[in-house]
Amino acid sequence: ITDFRFRNDTIGNVKIQANNSTAGNIRADIDISGKGNDISIAGNYYMQPVNGNEFNFDMNVKKLNLASVEGATAGAIRNATGDVTGQFNLRGTLGKPLMEGSLRFRETAFNLTMLNNYFRVADESIVVNSEGIRFDSFRIEDSLKNAATIDGMIYTEAFPNARFDLNIRARN
């Protein structure tokens, strides 16, 4: 697919290769490239669960241009710049998916629509595990360079009913 679009944002070119050369297993390799994006997803979907998993995929986000996913936020962010990188393993069942990995924000900035304020994240990471999303001294600045630091966890075991245990330190 050339110039794949989602909600008016062009994500890039999408290449999908899938086969079922092994009985009961669909192997898929997906590459997203162009428009500042370089992502690969590779793994298996099992017709019968294997080790309790209906699927097992590895995702390598070599570069994701934040501007190209503004549409996926349903208008929550706009004027995004910078990119994110990371690696994830996605496995489990459709009823209980599991994601583990990390995401690194590199020179990112965006306008958070509901606050109509511009925020910047220079070089920070979050960790995603079976419990949820972990922040460890995650620093974000507003348009006046006032900084906030976030530590703690957003527990997502009962998604979409998240539980928050965050410590946010900010001045001004």
Q: What is the mean pLDDT of each run of 10 residues along the chain (172 residues)?
A: 80 92 93 93 93 95 93 89 96 91 96 94 96 96 95 88 94 80
Q: What is the pLDDT of residue 137?
A: 97
Euclidean distance between CA atoms 137 and 101, whole angstroms = 17
Distance of CA 13 to the CA centre of its chain: 18
Q: What is the pLDDT of residue 75?
A: 86
Radius of gyration for the alpha carbons in the chain, expressed in angstroms and rounded: 18
Helix/strand/coil for 120: strand
pTM summary value: 0.86
What's the one-letter identity of residue 5? Answer: R
Q: Who's near 78: CB < 8 A, 6+ residues apart?
A: 70, 110, 111, 113
**Using H for helix, E for strand and C for coil, what is the string for 31-74?**
EEEECCEEEEEEEEEEEEEECCEEEEEEEEEEEEEHHHHHHHHC
Q: What is the pLDDT of residue 61?
A: 97
